[in-house]
Chains A and B, each alone.
Chain A
Amino acid sequence: MSIEVKNVSRVYGSFAALNNVSLSVKKGELIALLGPSGSGKTTLLRIIAGLDWPDAGDISLNGKSVIGEGASERGVGFVFQHYALFKHLSVFENVAFGLRVRPRATRPSNDEIKDRVMRLLKLVQIDWLADRSVTQLSGGQRQRVALARALAIEPEVLMLDEPFGALDAKVRLELRRWMRRLHEEMGMTTIFVTHDQEEAMELADRVVVMGQGKIEQIGTPQQIYGHPINPFVYEFLGQVNRLPCTVAGGVATIPGVAVEPSFRVRQFDGPGVAYIRPHDLEATPGKDDGVVRVLAPSGPTIKFEVELKNGNGSVEVQMNTGRFEALKIAPGMSVGLIAHTFKVFDPSQVDGEANGTTSSAAHA
Chain B
Amino acid sequence: MTFSLFKSNPGSRRSVIPGFGITLGLTITWLSLIVLIPLAGLFLKSATLSFDQIVAILTSPRTLSALRVSFGISLGAAAINAVFGVIVAWILVRYDFPFKRVADAFVDIPFALPTAVAGIALTSLYAPNGWIGSLLEPLGIKVAFTPLGILVALVFIGLPFVVRTVQPVIEDMDKELEEAATALGATRRQIIWRVILPVIFPSIATGFALAFARAVGEYGSVIFIAGNLPLVSEIAPLLIVIRLNEFAYAQATTIAAAMLVISFVLLFIINLLQRWSARYAR
B57 contacts partner chain A, Cβ-Cβ < 8 Å: no
CB of B282 to closest CB in A, whole Å: 6
Q: A84-B176, A97-B194, A101-B194 are in contact. Are A77 and B183 (CB under 8 A)?
A: yes
Assess the A133–B184 pair: CB atoms within 8 A.
no
Chain A residues whose C-beta falls within 8 Å of the C-beta of B278 in the assembled complex: 88
A-contact 0/1 string along B153-187, CB 8 Å cutoff:
00000000000000000000010110111111111
Q: Which of A138-159 contact B (CB under 8 A)?
A: 149-150, 152-153
A122 contacts partner chain B, Cβ-Cβ < 8 Å: no
Assess the A76–B183 pair: CB atoms within 8 A.
yes
Q: How far is the CA of A134 from the CA of B195 in the complex (A)?
A: 15
Q: A133-B282, A135-B280 are in contact. Are A84 and B187 (CB under 8 A)?
A: no
Chain B residues whose C-beta falls within 8 Å of the C-beta of A97 in the assembled complex: 181, 184, 186, 194
CB of B109 to closest CB in A, whole Å: 33
Q: How far is the CA of A98 from the CA of B182 in the complex (A)?
A: 9
B281 contacts partner chain A, Cβ-Cβ < 8 Å: yes
Assess the A78–B280 pair: CB atoms within 8 A.
no
Closest to B190 in A: A101
Q: How far is the CA of A89 from the CA of B280 in the complex (A)?
A: 6
Chain A residues whose C-beta falls within 8 Å of the C-beta of B187 in the assembled complex: 72, 101
Chain B residues whose C-beta falls within 8 Å of the C-beta of A135 in the assembled complex: 280-282
Q: A133-B280, A135-B282 are in contact. Are A88 and B199 (CB under 8 A)?
A: yes
Question: Tally of A-B residue pairs with Cβ under 8 A?
Answer: 78
Chain B residues whose C-beta falls within 8 Å of the C-beta of A152 in the assembled complex: 184
Assess the A51–B282 pair: CB atoms within 8 A.
no
Chain B residues whose C-beta falls within 8 Å of the C-beta of A88 in the assembled complex: 198-199, 278, 280-281
Q: How far is the CA of A62 from the CA of B281 in the complex (A)?
A: 40
Q: A84-B174, A84-B177, A97-B194 are in contact. Are A72 and B186 (CB under 8 A)?
A: yes
Chain B residues whose C-beta falls within 8 Å of the C-beta of A134 in the assembled complex: 280
Assess the A87–B184 pair: CB atoms within 8 A.
no
A250 contacts partner chain B, Cβ-Cβ < 8 Å: no
B residues sitting closer than 8 Å to A (CB atoms) are: 174, 176-177, 179-187, 190, 194-195, 198-199, 278, 280-282
Interchain Cβ contacts under 8 Å between A and B, 24 examples: A49-B183, A51-B179, A51-B182, A71-B179, A71-B182, A72-B182, A72-B184, A76-B183, A78-B180, A86-B177, A86-B180, A87-B281, A88-B278, A88-B280, A90-B280, A97-B194, A98-B184, A98-B186, A101-B185, A101-B187, A102-B185, A133-B280, A149-B180, A149-B184
A residues sitting closer than 8 Å to B (CB atoms) are: 49-51, 70-72, 75-78, 80, 82, 84-90, 97-98, 100-102, 133-135, 149-150, 152-153
The 3 closest A-B pairs by CB, nearest first: A98-B184, A84-B176, A101-B186
Known A84-B177, A133-B282; further 13 A-B contacts with Cβ < 8 A: A49-B183, A72-B185, A82-B174, A82-B176, A86-B177, A87-B280, A87-B281, A101-B185, A133-B281, A149-B180, A150-B183, A152-B184, A153-B184
